[in-house]
Structure 1
Amino acid sequence: MNLRIPHDAWVIVCDARKAMFLRNEGSPDEPRFAVEQVKEAPANPPSAQQGTERPGRLQNAVAPTSATDATDWHELAEKEFARDTAAALKLAGQSGRPRGIVLVAPPRILAVLRQRLDAQSRSRILAEVDKDLTKYPLHEIARILSGA
């Protein structure tokens, strides 16, 4: 990647179920991340346990009745978690804590985060990385982002 992450900048590594707020305690050349906060999504049971109703029907004026799509409860939960992550980042930004922010998330989650971030948080973004690194240890995340 070859990112130069400034000292005290935050790296937000998240997916649909977990968000890690990391702070660079090292230098831009040799990042060393410390965990500031970890957020995890609540349990998301199988769809059969969440909504057992059949999909709705639409009565069209000139065509036969058609079915609507079934609600994807898991997708809704993912978007809600991304919104909560953006809200936590906004709250941290109000205290003036992160000097810069690097967002690391899969493309779908990154898109929801972009939509939900306020202008102040958006102005602090240094880079966006469309990868899922939540299962990697901190030293591996630092190595991948810095390109070392």
Structure 2
Amino acid sequence: MVLATDGNIASHISVTGSIAKYGSGRQIPINRLLRAALVTLHETEGYPGQGPVIRSERGAAMMPGAIVNWFSATYRSMGLTGCSSHSGRRTFITRAARLLPKTGGSLRDVQELAGHRAITTTERYIQGDRDAQHKLIRLI
């Protein structure tokens, strides 16, 4: 879902309704650094070609449980506690929400990228920032 119709790396990831939770398909723009890495992988190893980009040790598609276990082991090896396979999603949504003023976007844009049906779901992912709150109060 990272290939364009011409077989090259696309500028977005296509998440089809058939694989998305509640059928909430969407297109997610690919970060320039990730796209460059995918282009390199595609050129040097023929990936993603056919099949998954992330593969198991045996070369097959990784199952969801295996990905959860991989994240847990990686966080544990880094000495991080309280992290899960969902932590990156929370971080992305929080960072995206904080960067909105620089883009002219709205929380609706973050909601669409996350694939949430309700904006209240997106809001639950966004963590507060005590330092930013103090700075805000000083400006008032």
Greater C-alpha radius of gyration: 1
Fold match (TM-score > 0.5): no
Would you tell me which structure has more helix in proportion to its own residues?
Answer: 2
The TM-score, its normalising length taken from structure 1, stands at: 0.25
The TM-score, its normalising length taken from structure 2, stands at: 0.26
- Structure possessing the higher relative contact order (Cα contacts under 8 Å, 6 or more residues apart): 1
Would you tell me which structure has more strand in proportion to its own residues?
Answer: 1
